[in-house]
Each structure stands twice: as structure tokens, then as C-alpha cells.
Structure 1
Amino acid sequence: MFLTSDEQFRRQYFLSSQIPVFVLIIIFMIPQLKWNLLIQKAYSFIFFKKKYNVLAWIVNNQESHILIVIIILAGVWIYSSLCLIGLYNRLKRNRGTPAPAQKKQKFVTLTREYNKGMLNFFLSLILPLITSFSLIDYPITSLIELIIIECLIYDFFKKSSSFFPNITLLVIHNVNLFLGKTLDGDRVYCFVLGKPIKQVVGKKVEVRYLTSGEYPPDQNICIYVKKEL
């Protein structure tokens, strides 16, 4: 979908889109922990009332494996949230300045295709990811499987021309993704920030491209600036 975008944008967009996966898995796993036992062991170890072989407990105890997975996913969630903030700030910053491109490049007609694949994304990706793994019985193995699948999805996402929905960006920041066409007929993806869909769908709008100095067909990602009068 974003073959012409830079690596930072792809990483921010992909990781922020996966926030629901990380959050739902964490919510599912937290109740499975025996918190009283964990607190008791930690208290006993810290205050030297009873010494434990911490390494052996981490390696052999399933409770520790679940806790490790939760900590790792929480860290990824925090990093993904930072990616979301960085992505939104980048879009907002680009939106504030009209592009120096030619009229045939910077004016885009937004089609009636927008936010495609949201439901399919939820049903075909998020639900299987949080229900198909044996997160409680084999937490470490499930985490490795999740990482492999996420890497494969990211690789496909870099090389595919299909819409890749970002539910988090839509829900938290009201950013809609439209398919548009320039006056030359080049297809572009246009982010529209904070505008009701009915006000811009099917309209000709002025846009700014994500990477300054690169225009269609070398660049296909743009940000809505204003509607043409």
C-alpha cells in the first residue's frame, strides 16, 4: 500500500494499527495471573525472608512466562502508542502547509472509497490473533508465533497495493483514509484529518504529499489541505 513512503512512516503506521491486538491480548492474559502468589514471592525475595532461585523460577514456571509476555506486550504497546503520536503529528504538520506541486498534482478528486477493510481487518486479523494462540498454556511459544505473523503481515503490507486499515488512527484522531485520483489520473491515498466524510467525499481537494519534492507517480500518499471552492 505504501511502497513509495519512507521506512519511518511505514513503521509508525503499521505498529499504531496493531495497538488493538496488543491491548486485547494483554486484557485477556492479565486475569490469568495468580497475583497473590506473585506478590508473595516478590515480597519474600526482596526482603530476604525466603530466597528463591529466580532464574529457575523464570525458566520453569508458567506464571513467570505469562508475566514476561505481558511485560513485553506492554512495552510494545507503549512504543506503538508513541508511533501513533508521531504519525498523527506528522500528518498534522504536513496538513498545515500547501504543497508547492503543480495543479495537476496537488489537486485530487476523492472517490467514494474510504476506510476500506475495517470490518474485514477486525474479523480476519484481530480476532484470530487473540483466539487461535494458546496464550495461557504456551505463552512464550504464542508470543514467538505472534511476532512471526506480525513480521509477515508487515512485509506484505510494504509490498501490497491494497488498503491497510488503521482503526486506531480513525477512532482516536478521526483520520479517514480515502482513495483519490489526480488530474492526470494517478491513484493516491489521501489522509483527511478531522473532517466529516460527507463534506469531502467525491470532492476535488488540495493536498500536500508526504515527502516534499516527490509527486505522482513517485509518491502516492498525501494529506488533505483544503477543499477547492
Structure 2
Amino acid sequence: MAHSILILAAHPDDEVLGCGGTIAKLADQGAIVHVAFLADGVFSRAGDTAAQQEELNVRRAAARKACAILGVKSVSFGDFPDNRMDTVALLDITKAVEPLIAEHQPEMVFTHHAGDVNIDHRRMHEAVVTACRPQLGHPVKTLLSFEVPSSTEWQLPGSAPAFAPNWFVDVSDTLNRKLAALDAYAAELRAWPHPRSRQGVEYLARWRGATVGVDAAEAFMLGRQLA
């Protein structure tokens, strides 16, 4: 039976930034990969409601295109308030995560790091950890946190847990697909030397690869693994 993998991200583009190369690699290996976004990713921005709705439609279309490039099986969208997930009870976010786990029965879950600057990322991490409590019969055997350029590395020392990767995936063969998927989110990219530029994302992958002796890699923190 093919392994089920679930990516739980706050906003469309987080999945590519954090683990796009890994998604493509797992899909190529026969895994069934599902991506779920929980926040709208748009409505904190300036503009009237009609303009924001149009931007939301555009961004969700970009997400579908990016995920198709990576080989994702299914994509779903939530509507928690963008950059305001701290205004929502953790229980409510957790209750949105739990049905996704029940539906997809993932053996492996990827989500945000606990120390990101972005509040939605931090709330997602808390909700996923809560939803993945290691109870009898729970499907999740491996829980990993990814880094998101322009959020994870922008946290100040001592302000939150530092991202200290201890799990690396060689994405030398899928980096080009990660970058192609990133191109679907052209409106979200910034000019170099911003970390959320195309060059910044590639350079990070090259650096993570160099630290473990491969051409390109994505780095993660292992939260739990049941062998």
C-alpha cells in the first residue's frame, strides 16, 4: 500500500517554500501526498472585499498549479483569518486538523516550525502537535517541522525555539520542480536579496545540501518518529 503523506500549512506557498522538493520526491516514490491550507492567506492585506476575494481566487489557483507540478494528490483550503489565527481558539484549529488526519490517514505529517515569526505558522504547529497526540491507533508515525524563508530565520534569538534541523532530504533531483512550483506563486515572490525570492529559495536549498554533502536538500526538525 502506498504511504499517505499530509502537508499541513497555514498559507498557499508555504508548502513549496518549506518542503516542495520533498513533496515531489515522495510523490515520485509512489507516496500519496495531500496538502491542506488552513488560513485564507489574503484578507489581512489592503484592499476592498471584492479585490481581496479576487486575490484569494488567484492564490488558490496558483496553489493548485504548484501542487500539480509537485505531484500532489489532493489540495484543500480553510478560511481561518490570515495573520490572525491567534484570535481563534486553539481547540477550533485543532478540530479543523483532526478531520484531515482522519480522512487521509497519513503516516507522515509535515507542518510549520514552532518558532516562526508568522503567528499563523506558530498556531498551526500547536494545533498539529495537539491533533497528532500519540494515542493508540493514531496513524501518524513521523511528525516533521519545516522552515519557511522570511519567517523561520527572522525570529530573534531567545524569542522562540530556534530551528535546529536534524532531518534532511536530498532534493538534488527535484529542486527544479520546487522552483517551477514556486514560479506559480510569482505574485508572492520578492526581489533578491529577499529570502522569499527565487534565488533565496534556491540558495537555501544549496546551502542545506552543502551541510550534508549533497547538491541540494531541505531541512526539517523531527518532532516524533515511531519505528
Q: Which has the higher contact order (CA 8 A, sep 6+)?
A: 1
- Report the TM-score when normalising by structure 2: 0.24
